[in-house]
Amino acid sequence: MEVDGERPTGRSARWLAVLGGPHPPLDQAPELGPLAELGESVELRVLRSPALADLAAAVSEFAPTAVYVYGGTPGRSSDVERQAVAPLGLLLNDQGAIQDAAVDSFAAALAGLGLELLFLNFAGSASVASALQQAASAASGGEPAAHHVIAWPASTEPPALAALDFAHCLLGLLRTPGVSVPEAYALAAHMTKAHGTEAGSAPPGNGTAEPSVQEAAVPQLLALAAAGTAADAAANGVQPAALTVQQPALPATASVPALEMEGVDLSKGLSAAFPGYSDLRLLAPNAELRLLQAAQRFFGEALRALLTLEVRQLEVTQLVQLDRPPAQLPGGTSAVRCEVRTPSGAAATVTLGGPAGLLKNKALVQHAVRLAMAADAQTLQFKLPPPGVPLPPTHMSPGVASGAPVVEALAVTSLWTVQLLKLLAQESAYRGLVLLGVAAVGTSPVAAFGPGDAGRLTAVVTQNDPSKANAAPPAALPIAGPSAAARASGAAAAAAAAAAAGLRAMEGVEAMAAAGRQTASPAARQQPQSASKQQANAAAAAAPDPLPWKSNRPPLPQCSEVAFMSDLIAFLTERQGRQIDPRTFPEAILNGSKLDLFRLYKEVCSRGGFKVGNGINWKGQVFPRMRNFTPNHRMTGVGNALKRHYQVFLLEYEQVHPDDITGDRCGICGRGDEHASDWISCDGCDAWVHFSCDQRMSRAGTFKDFAKGKGRTYHCPRCMELRQQRSVQEQTAVQASLLAQVLAATNPAEDGGLAPMQE
């Protein structure tokens, strides 16, 4: 037996892991496998192939709060898709059969511990769970071995890939603050089914093949009767309750903690305690959300549950009263801007409207925001492509999912959802999106997504057949649209989840997609990032699209606005799989008029493209050249708004038109990014220079003064020299003109006489 002390002591959660064999070598840390998902927040002790006596001693000494038992996956990684998790070796005899005496000894070692979770991840684990129940029935009192037991049914051989995926999801979700074991189980089961559900055909009664769905296998969540309850039942001649299979619901609006306020009677409801409470409204316009996600039938349900976990315990960190309430609010009401922070550390901004008196109560506002955002999370819906529109193919990018194939899905949600997902993607410690199979949000890769995650998800989704990852999606299953998914529950929720996840999810099972990215319109404010994270996100944003596009328009300098918009709409129609009405596109409004995409694109491309980022003076250089500009506008955040609109409508289009971008050579030193990255565009000639290369003493201001959108105008040394030359020439011309007028006034008249005197 080997004993590993993998985690420091002194933590409240103590996990004991019993490993009877190795995990499939699909992780970055195969020696720990899914246990690596627990992170540094728990104390972990690992026993490798122990004897029963060693297990009993470790339990007595370590006093764990949770136990994970894995039977091992013998065999090669090349055929892991055909392997099953082995039984636990310490329970077997020499012939490989499970010994009842060993099972009883194993159960006795854990009896009465009151574990929060006992995860029996091996074949034949149902026999151990039954033995634990019998031990509880025989006991006279005390706690059961575990409050929650997860075990595989006796009739199921645990598939190695599904077992590995479920364990990763479950242990990763248990790191989420405030999540219970039943909630983590329900969400992990949905994630595993999302990754492993396959489409096939089954013959109905008439023998004609019809579409069918084969869900991935997952273990069961069991409940043990308490020892005292079982003993009392036996004493009264009642048969003790058998193991109970639980089917917990996903986190939803009902899981938001109830409001507790000292001195306030809430027994009759919030509306009775706070008149006007029902008038509180979360202002969140709808937005379209594009994801690249892994073949996931249950993806929609799982994503809504993840969002609910984040918002049900959020905290309102700051309230700012709005001087002018939004126009959509009824008269006599007020609005506050709420800065909120979720348990995972993501900060977002939402607006709440309602009676002015209630908006001053921070606790009430916080509860209202929790309820409203949790309810809003349940309305996220995935859109199906119109009939006849080709499905988006899988594609790959080095900056997304470590190059794993991804496939696109389209959803409709609210602005705060988009904002929250983008911020969660940037949190390197947040694993929820990774476990679900999302590798990037917008142009920002999911920071926690690593090569090991890409390899594991690729193997799970393709059943360890990489050739499936690049295949065209097969014919879709004729499933219903996404209308009722947000209101479903129980068994109906599983069926509705298939519709909500969208047709592409069903087809992606064969097409393989480990994860992906999303964009939103209009997107919300992002949190400040570190320099390294900004560089990583910029690199991902600038990564060329691997799918080429053949434009039918002239080169950008000679292209008309009509030709440009026609080509852009054709591009977005093909890539997004949806019809776009040219009469209303784009739907975005800026400064009271439709967004001028043509001039926005031309100005950004002339300044080096979106990858330049803050090197472009979006407010001072780009905005004044657009039709949306008015000299007396009072807009704030123009630069950020333009960048968001560019990401939504134009970034992918730019990536397939590299010829539209101006050269990346400095107009002063002649070098590129290898010399400096402080690019600035000249307002006179549109040439790009390194700001640090401009050594003129007369230059006023720093790089931030020009790059952060404060309206300063920059002219490169060459333009300034030309301007000075023109100024000298103009002054010389003016002086010459004045001299000519003086000479003309003093010259003799044309007839040879003296010019007459003027009285």
Please tell me whether residues 82 and 231 are part of one structural domain. Answer: yes
Q: Which two tokens stand for residue 242?
A: 């058998």
| CA gap 216, 500 in Å, rounded | 18
| CA gap 184, 167 in Å, rounded | 11
pLDDT exceeds 70 at position 663 = no
Q: Which helix (H) or strand (E) holds 185?
A: helix 181-196
Which range is least confidently modeled, 299-313, 379-393, 511-525, 636-650? 511-525
Q: How far apart are the first and last CA of the chain?
A: 124
Please tell me whether residues 461 and 515 are part of one structural domain. Answer: yes
Q: Which two tokens stand for residue 606?
A: 């002339």
According to the model, what pLDDT value does residue 758 have? 45
Task: Label residue 598 exposed, middle or buried (CB < 10 Å: 0-12, 13-18, 19+).
Answer: buried
Among 248, 268, 302, the domain-final residue is 248
Task: Label residue 754 exposed, middle or buried (CB < 10 Å: 0-12, 13-18, 19+).
Answer: exposed
Per-position DSSP letters for 132-174, written without gaps between them: HHHHHHHSSSS--SBS-EEE--TT---BHHHHHHHHHHHHHHT
Residue 48 contacts residue 70 (beta carbons within 8 Å): no
Q: What is the pLDDT of residues 436-493, one digit of tens each?
A: 888 777 656 788 888 888 888 888 887 777 666 553 333 332 222 222 222 222 222 2
Question: For residue 159, what are the β-bridge partners?
Answer: 84
Virtual torsion, Cα 476, 477, 480, 483, nearest 10 deg: -60
Please tell me whether residues 431 and 534 are part of one structural domain. Answer: yes
Residues 6+ apart with CB under 8 A from 625: 599, 603
Q: Which two tokens stand for residue 639?
A: 């630069």
| CA gap 342, 421 in Å, rounded | 11
Q: Which two tokens stand for residue 456?
A: 């594991």
Residues 6+ apart with CB under 8 A from 360: none
For residue 585, tell me if it sits in a domain. Answer: yes
Highest mean pLDDT among 6-10, 14-18, 128-132, 216-220: 14-18
| CA gap 158, 140 in Å, rounded | 34
CA nearest to 346, candidates 430, 413, 290: 430
Residue 172 contacts residue 191 (beta carbons within 8 Å): no
Please tell me whether residues 521 and 572 are part of one structural domain. Answer: no
Virtual torsion, Cα 51, 53, 58, 64, nearest 10 deg: 90
| CA gap 482, 245 in Å, rounded | 30
Q: What is the DSSP letter of 683?
A: T
For residue 685, tell me if it sits in a domain. Answer: yes
For residue 488, tell me if it sits in a domain. Answer: yes
pTM, full prediction: 0.61
Residue 435 contacts residue 192 (beta carbons within 8 Å): no
Which range is least confidently modeled, 80-94, 258-272, 537-551? 537-551
Among 541, 567, 597, the domain-final residue is 541
According to the model, what pLDDT value does residue 184 have? 94
Which range is least confidently modeled, 278-282, 679-683, 734-738? 278-282
Please tell me whether residues 506 and 553 are part of one structural domain. Answer: no
For residue 270, tell me if it sits in a domain. Answer: no
| Cα angle 680-682-683, degrees, rounded to a multiple of 5 | 125
Please tell me whether residues 375 and 464 are part of one structural domain. Answer: yes
Highest mean pLDDT among 216-230, 315-329, 743-757: 315-329
Please tell me whether residues 448 and 547 are part of one structural domain. Answer: no
Range of the domain at 513: 284-541
Residues 6+ apart with CB under 8 A from 28: 36, 450, 451, 452
Please tell me whether residues 244 and 301 are part of one structural domain. Answer: no
Average pLDDT over residues 37-52: 89
Please tell me whether residues 393 and 528 are part of one structural domain. Answer: yes
| Domain count across the chain | 3
According to the model, what pLDDT value does residue 410 have? 66
pLDDT exceeds 70 at position 759 = no
For residue 111, tell me if it sits in a domain. Answer: yes
Amino acid letter for position 242: A
According to the model, what pLDDT value does residue 140 have? 54
Per-position DSSP letters for 463-489, written without gaps between them: TT-GGGGGSPP-PPP----SSSGGG--
Stronger pLDDT, 355 or 401, i.e. the higher one? 355
CA nearest to 428, candidates 445, 406, 403: 445
Q: Which two tokens stand for residue 34?
A: 């899914």
CA nearest to 168, candidates 187, 149, 148: 187
For residue 126, tell me if it sits in a domain. Answer: yes
| CA gap 734, 112 in Å, rounded | 102
- Could you check whether the bond before residue 586 is cis, i.e. omega within 30 degrees of 0? yes
Q: Which two tokens stand for residue 475?
A: 């014919």
Q: What is the pLDDT of residues 401-421, one digit of tens each?
A: 777 777 666 667 777 787 888
Residue 213 contacts residue 199 (beta carbons within 8 Å): yes
| CA gap 202, 188 in Å, rounded | 27
Please tell me whether residues 319 and 451 are part of one structural domain. Answer: yes
Please tell me whether residues 341 and 383 are part of one structural domain. Answer: yes
Q: What is the mean pLDDT of the chain?
A: 73
Please tell me whether residues 496 and 549 are part of one structural domain. Answer: no
What phi, psi does 341 have (nearest 5°)?
Answer: -135, 130
